């Protein structure tokens, strides 16, 4: 079968780039071309399909070499504009990660911004600290540097260009601020990411041309694919790439520091990958459209690793601006930029057409069977491990005096209030009772909290603690699916258990 196909080599395509006869189209136009001409003709007509993506890519960063100080220092720690870079590599090398936060400004400034500022040529304040050795007598230093002053600044991004990305919504009744953006309560919006039909890896899902050594466009510079990215998950079409490029050749237009409110700092990265149309098969593969790229809508209201999938959706639907969710039309927002992704693909197209960018064959194919494993961790303590099962409850028709008496007898400051059918109707605390006395209330239903924060039997304590902190409460009822009270968890019990298990604690100073 292969011999009946048009087969081109990368060398042939590069010759056409050289002599200016190369034919390049962006990936979004390819589906039209293939449906018009058929894959065989399209493979003859088109030499290169350009793809592009421009989105928040947290797993990004740069290796920097500062040159030696005089007297020399062996940096153990280094800060750039107050953002720490990892300095545990030789004396004056460091790796600055995009999501590292500023120690002063916290979520409003961090690694992504320092990288953008470097590329924009801005001066960066540098502080370093080390320990004294015979060859490195200096203990600390302070200076100001620009990109030009560095020997090398090499971007190495461990996980970029996700083939596709899940989209996010929120079932809870409070706004969530996530790496998937602002998620309004009660499924009121859906956010998504990724470039859809323009996505580099979606146009070469079996990695026939994109592999180790593939030359790419990275933030304005020429770059390379290092290999598969971290968390590369080809089986589920969540392939990723590790990429590299020279920061000194980058253009600030194609890389931007950014903050997701309440989540932190990231870096928007522009990546363009050319796909050589070597044969009919590649013409077919690059002919995908947004309607062919399917992803999941996931409920970020669930704070666990496995979050519920509410439905599947295509990028065509997502890009229409509205999708149907639980019988309602819900507005959608992309977090990555189609405008900029197009710009990346257009820029790559014009560089190839101008003879400024040549293709390289892959040195090695990316893995097609790597699997992504969850973190190995000790068993998680759950609500059922600490909850008190003997719970005194009070009927919602009881008097305040009765509730107060029960509190005294049971030595507990939080009492669940049940409605006639035995289901949780509210909570009453010692504080509510004292307020009631002061304000001369009579009815329990007048003073109890009706919007009760509850826990489930199988909920990790870590999440219950977050709930308690957020609402400033110290105990909450554990309920079953029918809203029947089956226990109570209190912060005292939790801290006893967690205190025994946790050997260390870390606090972010912001």
Report the interface residues with another protein, using CB under 8 A: 54, 56, 177, 181-182, 184, 189-191, 256, 258-262, 266, 268, 321, 330-340, 342
Closest approach of another protein to the CB of residue 55, in Å: 8
Q: Under DSSP, is residue 161 helix (H, G, I), strand (E, B) or coil? A: coil
Residue placing its CB nearer to another protein in the complex, 79 or 268: 268
> From CA 14, how far away is CA 21, in angstroms rounded?
10
Closest approach of another protein to the CB of residue 253, in Å: 9
Of 391, 381, 412, which Cα lies nearest the Cα of 497?
A: 381
Q: Is 135 among the residues known to form the active site? A: yes
Closest approach of another protein to the CB of residue 260, in Å: 6
Residue placing its CB nearer to another protein in the complex, 195 or 485: 195
Of 225, 262, 253, 257, which Cα lies nearest the Cα of 241?
A: 225
Tally the residues of the chain: 510
Per-residue b or e along 244-261, where b marks 16 or more CB atoms closer than 10 Å to that residue's CB: bbbbeebebebbbbbbbe
Closest approach of another protein to the CB of residue 437, in Å: 28
Strands 93-97 and 181-183: unpaired
Closest approach of another protein to the CB of residue 206, in Å: 29
Of 203, 198, 176, 199, which Cα lies nearest the Cα of 188?
A: 176
Longest dimension (CA), the chain: 94
Residue placing its CB nearer to another protein in the complex, 165 or 358: 165
DSSP letter (8 states) at residue 419:
-
Strands 485-490 and 475-479: antiparallel
**Residue 490 falls in which region: left (phi positive, over 0), alpha (psi -120 to 50) or beta:** beta
Active-site option among 135, 375, 438, 508: 135
Active site residues: 135
């Amino acid at each position: 079968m292969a011999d009946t196909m048009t087969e081109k080599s990368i060398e042939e395509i590069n010759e056409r780039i050289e002599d200016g006869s190369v034919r390049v189209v962006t990936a979004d136009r390819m589906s039209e071309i293939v449906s018009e001409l058929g894959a065989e003709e399209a493979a003859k007509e088109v030499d290169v399909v350009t793809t592009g993506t421009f989105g928040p890519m947290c797993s990004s960063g740069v290796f920097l070499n500062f040159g030696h100080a005089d007297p020399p220092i062996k940096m153990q720690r280094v800060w750039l504009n107050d953002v720490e870079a990892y300095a545990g590599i030789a004396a004056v090398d460091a790796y600055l990660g995009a999501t590292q936060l500023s120690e002063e400004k916290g979520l409003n400034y961090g690694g992504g911004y320092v990288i953008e500022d470097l590329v924009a040529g801005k001066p960066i304040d540098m502080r370093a600290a080390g320990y004294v050795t015979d060859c490195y007598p200096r203990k600390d230093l302070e200076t100001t540097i620009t990109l030009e002053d560095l020997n090398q600044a090499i971007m190495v991004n461990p996980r970029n260009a996700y083939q596709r990305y899940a989209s996010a919504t929120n079932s809870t009744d409070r706004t969530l601020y996530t790496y998937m953006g602002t998620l309004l309560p009660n499924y009121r919006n859906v956010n998504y990411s990724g470039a859809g039909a323009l996505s580099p890896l979606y146009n070469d899902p079996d990695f026939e041309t994109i592999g180790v050594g593939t030359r790419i466009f990275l933030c304005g510079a020429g770059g390379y694919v290092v290999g598969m990215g971290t968390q590369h998950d080809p089986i589920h079409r969540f392939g990723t790439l590790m990429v590299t490029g020279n920061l000194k050749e980058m253009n600030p237009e194609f890389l931007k520091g950014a903050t997701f409110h309440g989540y932190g700092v990231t870096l928007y990265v522009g990546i363009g990958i050319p796909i050589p149309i070597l044969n009919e098969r590649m013409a077919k593969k690059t002919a995908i459209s947004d309607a062919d790229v399917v992803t999941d809508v996931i409920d970020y209201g669930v704070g666990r690793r496995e979050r519920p999938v509410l439905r599947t959706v295509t990028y065509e639907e997502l890009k229409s601006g509205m999708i149907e969710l639980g019988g309602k039309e819900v507005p959608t927002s992309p977090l990555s930029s189609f405008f900029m992704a197009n710009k990346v693909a257009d820029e790559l197209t014009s560089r190839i057409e101008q003879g400024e960018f040549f293709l390289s064959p892959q040195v090695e194919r990316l893995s097609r069977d790597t699997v992504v494993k969850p973190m190995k961790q000790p068993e998680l303590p759950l609500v059922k491990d600490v909850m008190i099962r003997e719970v005194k409850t009070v009927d919602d028709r009881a008097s305040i005096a009765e509730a107060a008496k029960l509190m005294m007898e049971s030595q507990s400051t939080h009492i669940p209030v049940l409605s006639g059918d035995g289901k949780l109707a509210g909570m009453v605390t010692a504080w509510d009772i004292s307020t009631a006395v002061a304000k001369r209330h009579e009815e329990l239903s007048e003073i109890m909290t009706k919007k009760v924060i509850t826990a489930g039997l199988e909920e990790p304590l870590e999440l219950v603690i977050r709930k308690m902190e957020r609402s400033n409460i110290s105990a909450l009822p554990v309920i079953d699916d029918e809203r029947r009270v089956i226990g109570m968890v209190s912060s005292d019990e939790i801290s006893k258990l967690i205190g025994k298990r946790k050997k260390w604690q870390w606090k972010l100073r912001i």
